[in-house]
A and B are shown apart, each in its own frame.
Chain A
């Protein structure tokens, strides 16, 4: 039995340590070891984006990264977005625009929108659709999601 890996990392601004098996994905570590269940498992193979998190400033599928590889990095998950009494403007915009139905894709879309707006505070509709292409939604038809991101861009920029 290969030995567990000890990882020291930063998650949502806080120092975190954990032990994981080399084979555990970051998604499994988040959900099963750290009990951060905001990132969702849709496909577990890179096709749906429901597990999206921001690793060292870049959007990634946590199901395609190994938990052992978080050592020394900085991770942002959906749990870190809202202030205690105040939702993040992107979260507000998703609510205002009813940009969700079942909600399983929402954490991933919000992280993808954040990664986009962090880099490009005023994206065009085309840019929004291009940079959100890695996230699937089976309910909304995407238009409301695109509008929510446009609205969030207005408030955050």
Chain B
């Protein structure tokens, strides 16, 4: 990898001033499990790397009656093992526990999980300058697209690799961002952007903005949630397709369903179709089956990824049955 200057940030307010307004000049490092891969392959060659781990207080989880506040530096291991998260925000504990390997969860942070870059093999190849890297072609369209998008693709067809993002969106989380002009807060769902808005980025962050915290409202009584993820390799892997399901239940019926898919679109993909098939229904085998069918009714598979349609249909049904 190219050499760079390594700078420890003292506090959150200092971070924007340490970062350039040009993406290529500076990068932040949290756990580094994604960034080091990019640096080693010369996908990124920043002159300066700003360490966030030196900022005190960003590695805390606070659970109270208003919900959960999770600092950007909290590790995936700590999220997966947190008793309140396991009991009341189950989908998040399951999603965090499904990420990568123990080694990577021990250092990988929530902020890094949400801001990680795509895994598309053309993007990760240093010799290929595709649309995402400022070139003019998405090679996945005519090339090998087994791991690419079946929803929301165009002009680039990456899938968003994060497991925690679908879970947090299903839980209605908001994100706190600090930049040169102070702080802004937004629903995490609006944090991610489709490639037709910006083909080169996956979220709204400017190069000198930092994600500092995620807030999750306390789920209502009687809420159930789960994360189901299918991987090609049994031990650990990114999702071929995953579903975060979070249902508000009243007297045996699902009063409000949140269904967010991972691994199938350039952003975490809310399935409004599956939600409509579940809202107001008692969840029977037939309703769960309809939800799966609805989830993929508008899928647009590419040449090599039609299998993701069936996979997604089945895991949506299975997640609904699990929560019935």
Chain A contacts to B: CB under 8 angstroms = 1-3, 5, 21-23, 25, 44-46, 49, 52, 58-61, 63-66, 68-69, 112, 115, 131, 133-136
Contacts and interface: CB of A to CB of B under 8 A. Distances in A.
Interface of B: 1-6, 29, 31-33, 36-37, 39-40, 49, 51, 53, 77, 100-104, 106-107, 235-236
A2 B5 contact: yes
Nearest to B29: A66
Given A64-B33, A69-B53, A133-B236, A49 B103 contact: yes
A45 B37 contact: yes
B36 A60 contact: no
Q: Which secondary structure dominates where chain B touches chain A? A: mixed
Contact of A60 (B39, B51, B106): B106
B104 A61 contact: yes
B107 A65 contact: yes
Contacts of B77: 58
A9 to B, nearest CB: 15
B37 A59 contact: no
Contacts of A66: 6, 29, 32, 36
B234 to A, nearest CB: 8
B3 A22 contact: yes
Nearest to B36: A64
Contacts of B103: 46, 49, 52, 59-61, 64, 112, 134
A81 to B, nearest CB: 18
A134 B32 contact: no
B5 A134 contact: no
A45 B103 CA distance: 12
Contacts of A65: 32, 107
A133 B6 contact: no
B100 A134 contact: yes
A135 B33 CA distance: 16
A12 to B, nearest CB: 19
A18 to B, nearest CB: 15
Contacts of B101: 46, 49, 61, 133-135
12 contacts: A2-B5, A23-B39, A44-B40, A46-B103, A52-B103, A58-B107, A64-B33, A69-B51, A112-B103, A115-B102, A133-B235, A134-B101
